[in-house]
Structure 1
Amino acid sequence: MAVSQDGPPGAPALVLIHGLGASTRWWDPVVPMLASSYHVIRVDLLGHGRSAKPAGGGYSIPQQGRRVGQALDLLGVTHAVVVGHSTGGYVATALAEQRGDLVTALALIDTGPRMDAFISDGFVGKLVDVPVVGQLLWRLRTDAVIRRGLSTAYAPGFKIPQQAVDDTRGMTYHALIETSHAADDYLHRRPVPDRLVPLGKPLLVVFGERDQRWRPSSAALYGVVAGARVELLPGVGHSPMLEDPPRTAELLITFAGAVLDSP
């Protein structure tokens, strides 16, 4: 597992987990703002970025969460505020389910709460629905095709970064599909808000009001978690850390500060 670290090593730990088809690079716009006060740790999930892309198993959400916990153990991190974007929010939740001692609080960014809130995942959906066709499309993929597929990851009209295209292109078909199936399976087994209620962790939920992958109104479902703070960002789609970095960083800094300052 590839790991990036920024900020003072002795500062409180803030862990950032990317979503499907992404990498640590999706957090680049917010890291300078976060790293002034926190030890920012980013991971490339299995099958993504610079991490291994095995042809076998290991892609389930609980396995991904366990792997992040092991990485933090190796770094000597004993407590962390964990932030997950989209599918990364499921990994963050799984980590909190497994390691309540390690996870101090959770921030979920455009993480779909349950399957009936789903709208579309664009390109990935086309690849998953008919595997034979999906494999052919994947072999023939071009930047233009990937860019069109990624359009649902942002508000309409947002200019898609080349790095996002490169991250998706750099995955294997197996890793992409296995991760997508794993996210669906995790949600089918139990909705995220229901998983969070018994954990009793401070929770921040951030959603773009123009999210094209999950119904923005579904963010309200997280209200069943005691003390949850839900923020809807106007003019923003599925990826606030790329579309509105200052506002996203501000929300994370304020949330983490309040959690760490509480008795």
Structure 2
Amino acid sequence: MTNLHVTDDGPRDAPPLLLVHGSASSVRSWDALLPLLTEHHRVVRVDLLGHGSSAKPADAGYGVPEQAHRAGAELDRLGIGHAVVAGHSTGGLVATALAEERPGLVTGLVLVNTGPAMDTYIGPQTAFGPRQWAALTDEQVRDAMSSAFRPGYVAPATLVADVRGMTFEGFTAAQRGAVEFLMRQPVPERLTALGKPVLVLFGEDDRRWRPSTSLAAYRAVPGARVVPLAGVGHSPILEDPAATAGALLAFTGSPTLNRQSSASPRT
């Protein structure tokens, strides 16, 4: 029995698309995109360990490669031999790590406001202790999350609940794992080595990762399609789901990606 919560929507014979949520979030962060994507794809979403409705063991590995390995195992369990993998924020790190571990499984990557390296981080340096974490109110969570959106956007209640549903140990371990992954090697270097079709979507009003520097870093990846999103902050999948889905579907329908999918072995 798996200890991860997984959803599987859309036609079973449609091209598979795996969606990976960001830090302290869940599959619910993709809800607004789901009806737009399932017209064309079999859409699999996974709550990473420690998040959402998945198990939250205190003694598990929450590193990015470990989370990626579990996500790949879920695709295996579903009998999916290849898929485009899209990740929002830290989910983009997991998507990249999965492509590194399983290059035959991942036919293309979509990174949505994924920080390319730690030197582009401009978000707040918030720190909580276990007692503070347990006592957080909804308003305090919303305040801490405010940099994840454009000014004036109010975090949905579901996202607040996702944060409060995490354990302090799981939250801090996941944050630490993301930093360690970026410190070992920047994402653009990893993408260049992979040589996979890549789409990068980045909100121009991101308040966690410096947009101009991040966009420039991803444009240096050979063949990457980089799309800045005007008037959008760190979370395009919530702030502008229609624009996000439109760009994603244009990418998954591209001839280059379809050739990659046809050439990928079903393992």
Aligned residue pairs, count: 255
The residue aligned with 2:192 is 197
Letter in 2 for 1:167: D
Root mean square deviation, CA, Å: 1.1
Selected match of 2:46 from 43, 46, 63: 43
After superposition, the C-alpha distances for 1:69-128 in whole angstroms (9 at most, x for unaligned) are: 111000000110000001101100000000000000000000000010001156xx322x
Give yes or no for the alignment of 1:178 onto 2:170.
no
Quick check: 2:197–2:257 contact (8 Å CA) kept in 1?
Answer: no
After superposition, the C-alpha distances for 1:203-243 in whole angstroms (9 at most, x for unaligned) are: 00001111111011112201222110111111100000100
Identical counterparts, % of pairs: 52
Q: Which stretches of structure 1, 4 residues or longer, exceed 6 Å deviation after superposition?
A: none
Letter in 1 for 2:239: E
1:232-251 alignment runs, 5 A limit: 232-251=228-247
The residue aligned with 2:137 is 142
1:90-101 alignment runs, 5 A limit: 90-101=93-104
Letter in 2 for 1:208: G
What SS does structure 2 have at the residue aligned with 1:126?
coil
Shift in Å at residue 50 of structure 1? 0.6
1: distance between equivalents of 2:191 and 2:258? 22
The residue aligned with 2:25 is 22
2: distance between equivalents of 1:261 and 1:171? 38
Letter in 2 for 1:176: F
Structure 1 residues 104 and 210: CA distance shift in structure 2, 3 A: same
The residue aligned with 2:152 is 157
The residue aligned with 1:65 is 68
2: distance between equivalents of 1:12 and 1:250? 16
Give yes or no for the alignment of 1:220 onto 2:216.
yes
TM-score, scaled relative to structure 2: 0.93
Quick check: 1:220–1:230 contact (8 Å CA) kept in 2?
Answer: no
Give yes or no for the alignment of 1:231 onto 2:250.
no
Quick check: 2:108–2:257 contact (8 Å CA) kept in 1?
Answer: no
Structure 1 residues 260 and 197: CA distance shift in structure 2, 3 A: closer
The residue aligned with 1:79 is 82
2: distance between equivalents of 1:215 and 1:260? 29
2: distance between equivalents of 1:139 and 1:170? 10
Quick check: 2:113–2:202 contact (8 Å CA) kept in 1?
Answer: yes
1:80-119 alignment runs, 5 A limit: 80-119=83-122
Letter in 1 for 2:123: S
1: distance between equivalents of 2:143 and 2:27? 22
2: distance between equivalents of 1:176 and 1:212? 20
2: distance between equivalents of 1:92 and 1:191? 14
Quick check: 1:82–1:103 contact (8 Å CA) kept in 2?
Answer: yes
Letter in 2 for 1:58: G
The residue aligned with 2:248 is 252
Give yes or no for the alignment of 1:31 onto 2:41.
no
Structure 1 residues 198 and 260: CA distance shift in structure 2, 3 A: closer
Structure 1 unmatched runs, 5+:
128-133
Letter in 2 for 1:173: F
TM-score, scaled relative to structure 1: 0.95
2: distance between equivalents of 1:10 and 1:121? 43
Letter in 2 for 1:151: S
Letter in 1 for 2:93: Y
The residue aligned with 2:264 is none
